Amino acid sequence: MDKHEEESSRNVGLLIAGFALGALAGTVIGLLFAPKSGKELRDEIKEKSGEYYDRAKEKGTEYVGKAKDKAAAVVETGKEAADKAKEKLADAADKVKRAVETGVQAARDKFEATKE
């Protein structure tokens, strides 16, 4: 995963967390100003905060799963690129080896020719 994708994923997570916190704060403030008894208010705050917590936890799990899938795909792509690079490097090394052997043989032949 490149830096941009990583930063985007982090920003999306922060955005969702911000919305969840904002919704929770708005609910609590709304409940505080509603004409209810203290017990009713506390129960409703507890219920709503539990709902928001469960929803946030569910979304968090969902995004962690997506991030793992993306990371696995990036790792696989990296492995494939590394394998291709290894093949190209091996081919280039073989070409250099053959060129050196050809040059060495040509130098030997020339040296032998000058001896005669």
pLDDT tens digit sequence for 14-42? 778 788 778 878 877 776 777 767 788 78
What is the chain's alpha carbon radius of gyration, rounded to the nearest angstrom?
Answer: 33
3-state class (DSSP) for residue 77: helix
Q: Which domain holds residue 43?
A: 3-115
Tokens read off for 112:
């032998």
pTM, 2 dp: 0.46
3-state class (DSSP) for residue 37: coil
Tokens read off for 116:
């005669």
Looking at the 3D structure of the chain, how many domains does it have? 1
- Out of 23-37, 41-55, 58-72, the most confident range is 58-72
3-state class (DSSP) for residue 53: helix
